[in-house]
Structure 1
Amino acid sequence: MGINPEDVEYLSLAKEAKIGFMESSEIINKGVKIEEVKTTFAHGYGKGFNQLFPEINIMEGGACSGCVSNLYLTLKQLKDRGTLKKLPNITLIIGKDEKRYETSEKVLFIGNCTMAASVNLFLPGCPILPSELIQLLENLVKTKLRN
């Protein structure tokens, strides 16, 4: 997939708990050879989010795959509907890396691990629910259109 397993937090935790492996030499492959089917995946987070969704500023720092995938699904759905470009000037913060949370704009903190840094809007969840994020962002659009 082109992803370093050590960069995936739950895989590291599984290895530490001795319930999984990360080294290819420790894995028994009984099917098609990996080299024959290997595909490099694009990362849909960090700078990738801002490239995929230039209509909105997204700061990601150490978010779990649950929140990252749900944020991606939400933004894709809003982009397809044409709603994303109507959002007010806002920054979305996702992940537990608090040093990334320096901004003076209107900010929406997404997920329970951003709660400590939350100073503006906050959407709880672990992981966040796409339906709740869609509702919150659509309400921001409605509020913007009324003002």
Structure 2
Amino acid sequence: MGGSAATAQADAYEELTEFLLRPEDDAHPVHEVRECVCRSCGGRVFEVAAMADDTGAVRRTCVACGVHGFIADSAEYWDDEDDAEVCACNCGHEEFAAAVGFSLYDDESDDVRWLYVALRCQSCAEIGVYDDWKIGYGPSGMLLDQV
């Protein structure tokens, strides 16, 4: 990745992190933020789809190499037979930098209580949470490495 492209991706991750760590009145506090990075090629730009039925399942597809990856435990709930909604920015573009914010339980474990999938549009830089869901089981700390 060239210098300016690497800087742009670092800036995108920094902005996503700041966004996810900002306290929200109606949300659990985020304790950990992890950047989505393609495990195949190291790409950081994705097309993203979420299951339409609010099951808490998100799949990202690397724009550089086309490899699919699931966020957290999404592979367990993803159903290729059901409709998935392709995420699109208000500006109409569908390519994003992505990060996941994790709210952890207040005990000594690293179990995840809730997670938030935030996307930053590659065209206009708008950021938003496109999906979130509760993690109702433990141990679940391994989900922090499944973004």
| TM score, norm. by length of structure 2 | 0.31
Structure exhibiting the larger radius of gyration computed from Cα positions: 1
Structure with greater helix percent: 1
Structure with greater strand percent: 2
Query: Larger relative CO (CA 8 A, sep 6+): 1 or 2?
Result: 2
